[in-house]
Every structure is written in C-alpha cells, then in structure tokens.
Amino acid sequence: MLHSHYENRLRKAVRNDDEPFTTPPSKRRLLHSPLKTPPSLPLSPRSPSSGHGDRLIPSRLGEKWNENFRLLQEDVGSPNEIKRARDAAAEGNKDTLMYRCLLRSEILDMNVSESRLSNVPVLIPDDRKPLGALDAVRIFNTARKISKMPFKVLDAPELQDDFYLNLVDWSSQNVLAVGLGASVWLWFACTSQVTRLCDLSVESDSVTSVAWTERGNLVAVGTHHGLVQIWDVQANKRINTIHGHTARVGALAWNGDSQICSGSRDRFIQQKDIRTPPVVPERRLQGHRQEVCGLKWSPDNQHLASGGNDNKLHVWNLHSNQPVQTYGDHIAAVKAIAWSPHHHGLLASGGGTADRCIRFWNTLTGQAMQSVDTGSQVCNLAWSKHSSELVSTHGYSQNQILLWKYPTLVQVAKLTGHTYRVLYLAMSPCGESIVTGAGDETLRFWNVFSKARSPKQIRSVLDPYAFLR
C-alpha cells in the first residue's frame, strides 16, 4: 500500500515538470531492479545540462557481468579451488626466494642462511631428487665451466721422466723455471721470452731440481752431483754454491728468501742460510731411510714436511733435528706434499703407484683425517690460493690431472692430454692457472681455479690455536 502511494506521487511529479518526459515501463523496471539489467543494454549517465535529477548511472559497457558473477560464486563455494590457489601462491613465493638466494650468492657473493632455505624444495633434472635451495646454491656455485683443453702448450725437450725429480717452478714475478737436461731455462709469461739461465754441461753435471724464493729474484738449482747452486736472475750469475750432499738433490724448498732446504738421495735433509759464510755448518736432518723426494714448508714457515721413498711422511720444526711427527700410512713413495693455506695445520700427501691415495693429516693433533683412492700414482699436489680446492697430477696408469673439493673430496674436474706421467706441477702467482710437465716433453698450461674467494672460514672455539696470532 505504501509503495503504490509513493509510485503515484512520483508519476504526478514527473507529469508536472516543465519539460514533458515519459518514462517507458521497461526503464521503470530497471530502476527498481538494477542487478537484473541485461548486459546487452547500455546505461548512459544523464547529461548535466538537462537538469533532471541528481542520480549518476555509470556506463558499464563491455563488462561481462554474468561470467564474473559465475566465477565469484565458484570461488566462494569451492574450498578445493581456494586451497589450490593458496598452494600455487606458496610455490611462487618459494621459487622467488630461491631465485633471490641464487642471485645473492652468485652476483653479490652473500652467504645464504640454512634456516631460511630449509623448506624450499628444488628438483634437479638429472635424478629428480628433491634438494634444499641451499644445495641448489652450492651446485650453482661449484658447477663452473673448466676448460678441458690447455690454453698453451710449450715444447720441453730433454724434460726427464723421473718420479723423484722436481724440475718446474713458477715465481712470484711470473717467470717459469724449467730444468732441461743440463740447463735451466726461464720463460717470462708476460712477454713469452725464453732465456737460458745456466748450463751445467761444462761441469759434466745435470739439473735435478729447481725452486724460486718467495720474492722471485733468486732461484736454487739442485744438481746430480749433490750441489745446490743459487742464481741471481737479474744479474744472470751464480752467487753461491752449497756443498754437503753426496748424491743428487731431487727436492728443494725455500723458507723465506734466505734459508734453503734440500733433500737428497743420500737420505739427508740439509738447511742452509745463504747469508752466512761458507764456514758456518749447515743444519742436517736425518729421518728417512731412502731418498728424500718431497719437501714443503708450512704457510707460517714454522714446520717442514718431507716425504721419502721409504713411504714415510715426516714433520720437522725449526729447533729439533728429529721429526716431531711421523706418518706411515702410505705404502709407496711420498713425493706429493701440500700445506693448506686455508686450514691451519692441515697437510695433504699423496702416495706412489702401490698406494694411489691422497691422505689428509691434522698436524695440530697428529691425527689422520680423510683419504681418497685416486686410482693412479700421485705425483704432485697443490692447494688453490682462493678456495678450499686442490689439484693433483697422476702417473701410472691414467696420466691425468684431477681437481678436488675439500672437505667433501668431490671430484670437480678431470683433465687429460699428457701421454706420459704428469710428474711436474707449478701454480701461477695469481693462483688461477697451473702448468704441468711430463715425460712427453711438453709443458701444458690450464685454467683450473676460480678468481672468486671462498667465504671466510668460521673459527671453531674447540680449536686451541684458532685465536692465536
């Protein structure tokens, strides 16, 4: 009753208007039920100049009300659809988080927290095993491209195929010294110039080892007659000759720029300060029962590691004439020795043909650590300067070069090319390249190590030496 009375008054007001206006019945129905408006009928707003009414009806031309209303009803009434939408959003967030972590680790060199990524699954296409995003970051970082071909090959005629010699060394001034027969040749990496430093044929002698000082201005030359000659490269002359050995000197190691250690087939290790007069006796270390074929000083120059043909690995300090530690787990000659520059007191050693293993030792506690069977004779070892990786060269029977990740001992790369045992190894001063030599009379240069530095090592509070300077 009330609605019909209101409708009559509204019709009367419209009839009494100055401008005659008649509302069609269809539009009156639309006024009372706007939700039932057919989508094909456009509703345009009245022109402001007409002055009739103050109601604005916006244009909804092109809107698909029926379809939108149907989708809205399905979303509201379908719990499965809502759950699937939430799961898709969550997966998208996980993918975004993993992608951000990959970018931070690779480009910005930022550490990634294990707790933040523990719930982010990643599928590796090879084996389809689910891994955490942090594992994906590690795989992404370690899967760098390492060329399987050397970037340079040099001829090295008369390079001896002798396991017990050390005839190649690379100086801090980017000069390579190579012992070829009775001569020592220098190859300047910056200019590719080659010069002969010395010729021992006039003395009926031959070169058995070479080693640079840390500064790179002096090179020591061990000879078949048991001498150690010190040569000044810039002056191109011999400045000292050290006697004392009765057999060939196959291993040399400098402690700084003044003290030279030599290992010989006479089973002795001799340490001499080249600044002292010849009348001052040298220090003699006796511990091996057969030829000494490997010598390396620790990064802090406090300990000397020596390997011999008696399958023993000794560690010496600066004061005692007896080894402070002896390791006898190898069952073949120990020539390959390398101290880690990243882990204090960590020593790696490699055995010969009957052993084939790389072993790791904690010289702080005297305990053996990991070991890995390489499958062939271990000739040399060298740690990367920038990351916790090391390279090994091998002889019988595969003649290969292997790159390892420490401490997982995962094989990162395998390089082949030499047709004889890879007996000689030296690292460039930048720490990115190595040079290898073999009895095939070639020197091959490889890019194996990355430029990027590894994350700073976290010191353990359980290490009693971790906070000592």
Residue 221 has pLDDT above 80, yes or no: yes
Give me the chain's average pLDDT, please. Answer: 81
Output the CA angle 454-455-458, nearest 5 degrees.
Answer: 130
Confidence at 31, pLDDT banded by 50, 70, 90? very low
> What is the reported pLDDT for 34?
43
> What is the reported pLDDT for 33?
41
The answer to whether residues 382 and 446 touch, using CB atoms and an 8 Å cutoff, is: no
Residue 426 has pLDDT above 70, yes or no: yes
Helix, strand, or coil here: 115?
helix
Q: What percent of the chain has pLDDT over 90?
A: 63
Helix, strand, or coil here: 295?
strand
Average pLDDT over residues 442-454: 84
- pLDDT: which is higher, 340 or 281: 340
Residue 35 has pLDDT above 50, yes or no: no
> What is the reported pLDDT for 364?
96
pTM for the whole structure: 0.69
Tokens for 157, please give them: 């005629």
Average pLDDT over residues 157-175: 97
Residue 40 has pLDDT above 80, yes or no: no
Q: What is the pLDDT of residues 173-211, one digit of tens each?
A: 999 999 999 999 999 999 999 999 999 999 999 999 999
Residue 432 has pLDDT above 80, yes or no: yes
Q: What is the pLDDT of residues 49-95, one digit of tens each?
A: 444 555 666 666 555 555 555 555 544 455 666 666 666 555 556 56
Average pLDDT over residues 346-367: 97
Picking from 172, 162, 213, 253, the residue whose alpha carbon sits closest to that of residue 429 is: 172
Average pLDDT over residues 317-324: 94
**Inter-axis angle of helices 79-106 and 133-142, nearest 10:** 30
Picking from 422, 376, 383, 425, the residue whose alpha carbon sits closest to that of residue 404 is: 383
Confidence at 115, pLDDT banded by 50, 70, 90? very low
- pLDDT: which is higher, 44 or 102: 102
Q: Is 424 exposed, middle or buried (0-12, 13-18, 19+ CB in 10 A)?
A: buried
Residue 451 has pLDDT above 80, yes or no: no
Q: What are the CA-CA distances from residue 254 to residues 151, 187, 259, 272, 297 (Å)?
A: 29, 21, 6, 10, 8
Residue 293 has pLDDT above 80, yes or no: yes
Confidence at 462, pLDDT banded by 50, 70, 90? very low
Confidence at 144, pLDDT banded by 50, 70, 90? confident
Q: What is the pLDDT of residues 368-419, one digit of tens each?
A: 999 999 999 999 999 999 999 999 999 988 999 999 999 999 999 999 999 9
Least confident of 35-44, 99-108, 198-207, 441-450: 35-44
> What is the reported pLDDT for 314?
98
> What is the reported pLDDT for 91?
55
Q: What is the pLDDT of residues 10-27, one digit of tens each?
A: 666 555 544 444 445 444
> What is the reported pLDDT for 145?
85
Average pLDDT over residues 353-380: 97
In the numeric block, the tokens 């990740």 are attached to 405
- pLDDT: which is higher, 429 or 124: 429
Average pLDDT over residues 29-45: 42
Residue 461 has pLDDT above 60, yes or no: no
> What is the reported pLDDT for 278?
84
- pLDDT: which is higher, 143 or 243: 243
> What is the reported pLDDT for 42?
45
Picking from 406, 401, 404, the residue whose alpha carbon sits closest to that of residue 377 is: 401
Least confident of 115-119, 233-237, 411-415: 115-119
CATH architecture of 152-447: 7 Propeller (2.130)
Average pLDDT over residues 140-144: 55
Q: Where are the domains of the chain?
A: 85-114+133-143, 152-447
Q: Which residues contact 348 (CB under 8 A, 6 or more apart)?
A: 336, 337, 338, 339, 340, 358, 359, 360, 361, 381, 383, 390
